[in-house]
């Protein structure tokens, strides 16, 4: 098994891509701990795969740090951190609420920073560890009237590269995953901005060369690759999984 006995923390693991990635890790032998703001959702996702669940609001620095400390106290190590929790707030420069921009920064950038800061000492002591930050295809291209989301997801990539350069000598690998369009409720803000599901479906069909949404398993496999030894000589990199949208 690729991840036998490795301890993995997945933020935002109660649904969608985070849940799919957590399931893939558990299937490969990892001891997975799911963090999600919705405790019931985290528990339901964890029960499906024999994982642990914790209700954690990643925008709360103290709660996030305490949750990671609790995992370390319980398991004695943390081998994988997948910073997946995210928020999407629509609007261009004049439309977006300042509070929405701040919330985007808190969840999409500050929370991965705080979580990585919390696991770094134990990973350094272990001489090994993997941090995977979920960015987005919006982190490498223009995203129509989504300034808060695009700005924060670009920042995630910069932060990933900085972490990777600083911590490679300690055996810690840090990479970023940039998913494209996946059919989950996370797209609701963009869908509303586009004028409904039919409009978004048409947008995906036109803008994505493969002409469709991604399936969740098509995100789980890249996650598994990035957190396992299959990518053991890869750090500071950005893996875009978007059906070709960024090449056109």
230 found inside a domain: yes
Distance between CA atoms of residues 139 and 229, nearest Å: 25
Distance between CA atoms of residues 123 and 12, nearest Å: 21
Q: Are strands 129-134 and 238-241 parallel, antiparallel or unpaired?
A: unpaired
Catalytic residue numbers?
A: 149
Residues 6 or more apart in contact with residue 223 via CB below 8 angstroms: 17, 20, 21, 24, 25, 82, 132, 177
pLDDT at 93: 94
Torsion of CA 134, 139, 145, 147, to 10 degrees: 80
Q: Map 15-31 to HEC letters.
A: CHHHHHHHHHHHHCCCE
146 found inside a domain: yes
198 found inside a domain: yes
pLDDT at 107: 98
pLDDT at 117: 98
pLDDT at 119: 98
184 found inside a domain: yes
| Domain harbouring 190, CATH code | 3.40.50.720
Q: Which two tokens stand for residue 194?
A: 């586009």
80 found inside a domain: yes
E-state strands within 91-231: 129-134, 172-179
Domain that holds residue 218: 7-247
2 found inside a domain: no
100 found inside a domain: yes
pLDDT at 144: 80
- For the chain (length 248 residues), average pLDDT per consecutive 10? 96 97 98 98 98 98 98 98 95 94 98 98 98 95 88 98 98 97 80 79 89 95 98 98 89
156 found inside a domain: yes
pLDDT at 248: 67
Q: How many folded domains does the chain comprise?
A: 1
Reported pTM: 0.95
């Amino acid at each position: 098994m690729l991840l036998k006995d490795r301890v993995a923390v997945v933020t935002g693991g109660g649904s969608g891509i985070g849940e799919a990635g957590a399931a893939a890790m558990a299937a490969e032998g990892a001891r997975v701990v799911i963090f999600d703001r919705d405790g019931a959702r985290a528990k339901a996702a964890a029960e499906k795969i024999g994982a642990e669940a914790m209700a954690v609001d990643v925008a709360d620095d103290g709660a996030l740090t305490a949750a990671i400390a609790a995992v370390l106290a319980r398991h004695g190590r943390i081998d994988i951190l997948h910073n997946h929790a995210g928020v999407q707030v629509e609007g261009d420069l004049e439309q977006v609420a300042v509070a929405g921009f701040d919330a985007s920064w808190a969840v999409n950038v500050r929370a991965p920073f705080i979580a990585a800061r919390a696991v770094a000492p134990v990973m350094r002591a272990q001489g090994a560890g993997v941090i995977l930050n979920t960015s987005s295809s919006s982190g490498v291209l223009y995203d129509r009237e989504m300034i808060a989301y695009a700005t924060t997801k670009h920042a995630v990539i910069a932060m990933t590269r900085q972490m990777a350069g600083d911590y490679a000598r300690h055996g810690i690998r840090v990479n970023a995953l940039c998913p494209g369009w996946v059919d989950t409720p996370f797209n609701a803000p963009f869908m509303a901005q586009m004028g409904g599901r039919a409009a978004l479906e048409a947008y995906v069909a036109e803008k994505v060369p493969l002409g469709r949404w991604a399936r969740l398993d098509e995100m789980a496999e890249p996650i598994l690759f990035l957190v396992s030894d299959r990518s053991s000589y890869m750090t500071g990199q950005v893996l875009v999984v978007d059906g070709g949208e960024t090449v056109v």
